[in-house]
Each structure stands twice: as structure tokens, then as C-alpha cells.
Amino acid sequence: ATSEGEILGYLYSKGIKPDGVLKLSKDVVKMVCEEYDVEVIDADPIRVEEMAKKKEILDDDDLDKLELRPPVLTIMGHVDHGKTSLLDYIRRSKVAASEAGGITQGIGAYRVQVPFDGKPQTCVFLDTPGHEAFGAMRARGARVTDIAIIVVAADDGIQPQTTEAIAHAKAAGVPIIVAINKIDKDGANPDRVMQDLSSIGLMPEEWGGDIPMVKISALKGENVDDLLETVMLVSELQELKANPNRNAKGTVIEAGLDKSRGPVATFIVQNGTLKRGDIVVCGEAFGKVRALFDDKGKRVDEAGPSIPVQVIGLNNVPLAGDEFEVVGSLDIAREQAESRADYMRNERIMEKAGDGMITLSSLA
């Protein structure tokens, strides 16, 4: 292995002075790779950004303690193409209604058991279909989704929000599965949809490409099992992993104020295990986790990687897309939340002061 210092030395010897963040042009990277006899992989800059993001969630010392975790999915697509129907069908048919009185209230995400590889396996659906939520979270730097399901109605084809959803998924480096929906309808033309998708760069696996496409009827539940199996296949290829044996880190996917319970937030744990009694910082909010509820409204003591959990005990309502992290003490939590609040306040002032003048009202 070549050390960082050695490469830096080599760069200096070539008269290249890398800056702190080591941004190198493609040509320089190629030159270095040739010098050290390393294969050049032409990395897509967005992919690199996402990989960096992933690494932020996983620390170096996690890397030898990783275990497989369930995939987290988002359903996107044009309005009326059947996102809600698909979510509803999956929830109705796959979430064990016998448990603790079934689904009491939505927490913004739910777990589904899918038989795969001879045993039931979990996947997690984010309950907020629509690219708005996805886009807003992404704009805040959050990356929660592992796989995007793009729903396209077979009688309506590619529409503006279909293209937008595809762009979001691509920008986030998230693998896409297409659900061609409403195949039960007169006038449904799934082949036409596949043709149109391939013309915008999504080539169906069926035709030798790399995008799985499943023809379904969300209304009748037709082929939804195939879709879920495809999800598990894609997930298996992704080798999604986390270290369950450490303090939790993750992202807020939903938050609000409950009349009796105070601030309530749904977290997706992305690394580690969140436990009752943990102290968390979460954007500008912080607190001690007083209670945890799972997606069925059942009290739980902990939640591991990929698991959505509702959290009570925060001092304030965080924002969807805020990251949370378990810290050692309430003092540390308060300090971090306050410095985050200061930072955000400054950002807002800078934004408002764009025209040069800071007035009292811009500080409000």
C-alpha cells in the first residue's frame, strides 16, 4: 500500500501543490494512478459525494464490525400514478395486523416482512411518497433511501414528475426499480412505457439493461410480491451494512408537536442502536429519549440500523432531514444543539444580508 505522504511527495515533485481538501483534476489523478500502477476508475462526482456521505455515517472503527441491515425504500413518481395505492397495498398485505392492535398511527415509515432466501426478511418503506420529501431531505444533505421505486402508470407513461423522480434518484446515486403500474386497466401499454424509459437512459433488465422493471397492479395487488422480491435482490447486491453495536446515528424523517407528549420525532437509525435513556442531539433540538415507539405504535426499548422509531423526550421539534446522534451527556447535547442553532441563525442572517445591510429586522 502507498501512503498518503508518499503520494503527496510525488505530487510536490511534479510541482503540484494540493490544497487541504485534495481536489485533483482528472488528469492529475490519472497521472498518479499510472505512477503507482493503480487502475483508474472514472468516478462520477455525485457518486463520490454520496460515498463520502456514507462514510460519514460509518466511522473507520465500524468497518470491521459491520452487519447486514434492511434496505430503506422510497416510492416516487408522477401524481396519480399509484404511489399511495402501492404503499397502502403493501402495508395492508404485508404488515402483520395481529401485532399490538395493528397499525395505530403512521410514524412516517413502516417495516415489511418479505419472504426471501427461504426466510422472512425486513425492508423499510418511507411513508411519504413524492419527490418533494425526497428532494427536501436531499437538499439538507440527508441520504436515507437505499433504493427508489419509481411508479409509472402504464396508461399514462412518462410524465414530468416521473422524470424529476428519476433525476432525484440518480443524483443521490440510489438504485432504481421501476414499477409499471395499472396493468389491469384498459389502454395499459407497459411495453410503451419500457420503450420510453429506455429512450431516456433506463434500459429494462428484460431487454439486457440494468434497471429492473416489474409490471404491477397496485389496486389488485398483482405482481407486488415480484416487486418486493426484486427489492430484496437489489438490496442484496448493495450489501447494505451498519454496525449495530455502537451509539446510534441517523436522520429525522418526520417531526411534530403532540398536544400531550410534546415534541415527537421519527428517526431512521442509520448506524448503531438507539436505546431508551440515550441522550441525543438532533439539529437544534436535544434531549433524553424517554420513550421509543415502533411503526406499530408499540413501546420498544431499542431500534437498530434501518429501523424507524418514534422518539419522545426532545426539548424541541427538529426538522425532517436533521441528523441525530447519541452523545455522552445532556451538557454536551445542549452545547452542540446551541452551537448548531447559532450557526443556523448566522446562516439566515447572511442570507438576509445578501444586499449588504444588516438591519434589526433581519436579525429577528
Compare residues 83 and 138 and give the one whose CB is closer to ligand GDP: 83
Rg of the chain over all Cα atoms, to the nearest angstrom = 23
- CA torsion, points 7, 9, 11, 17, in degrees to nearest 10? 120
Compare residues 127 and 322 and give the one whose CB is closer to Mg ion: 127
Q: By CB under 6 A, tell whether 184 contacts ligand GDP.
A: yes
Least gap, CB of 131 to Mg ion (angstroms): 12
| C-alpha to C-alpha distances, 243 to 25, 49, 67, 82, 274, nearest whole angstrom | 34, 21, 6, 35, 12
Q: Which stretch in 33-41, 42-50, 75-83, 189-197 sits in contact with ligand GDP by CB under 6 A?
A: 75-83
Q: By CB under 5 A, tell whether 84 contacts Mg ion.
A: yes
- By a kind-dependent CB cut-off of 5 to 8 A, residue 79 interacts, out of ligand GDP, Mg ion, none, with ligand GDP
**Tally of CB atoms within 10 A around 145:** 24
Q: Nearest-CB residue to Mg ion?
A: 84
Q: By CB under 6 A, tell whether 218 contacts ligand GDP.
A: yes
Size of the site for Mg ion (CB under 5 A): 2
Q: Which residues contact 357 (CB under 8 A, 6 or more apart)?
A: none
| C-alpha to C-alpha distances, 59 to 27, 52, 286, nearest whole angstrom | 30, 11, 22
C-alpha cell of residue 160:
414530468
Q: By CB under 6 A, tell whether 215 contacts ligand GDP.
A: no
Q: Which of 145, 162, 217, 230 binds ligand GDP (CB under 6 A)?
A: 217
From the list 78, 81, 131, 168, the catalytic residue is 131
Residue carrying C-alpha cell 421505486: 149
8 Å CB contact between 92 and 125: no
**Catalytic residue check, 131:** yes
Q: Which residue numbers are catalytic? A: 131
Q: Which residues bind ligand GDP (CB under 6 A)?
A: 77, 79-85, 129, 181-182, 184-185, 217-219
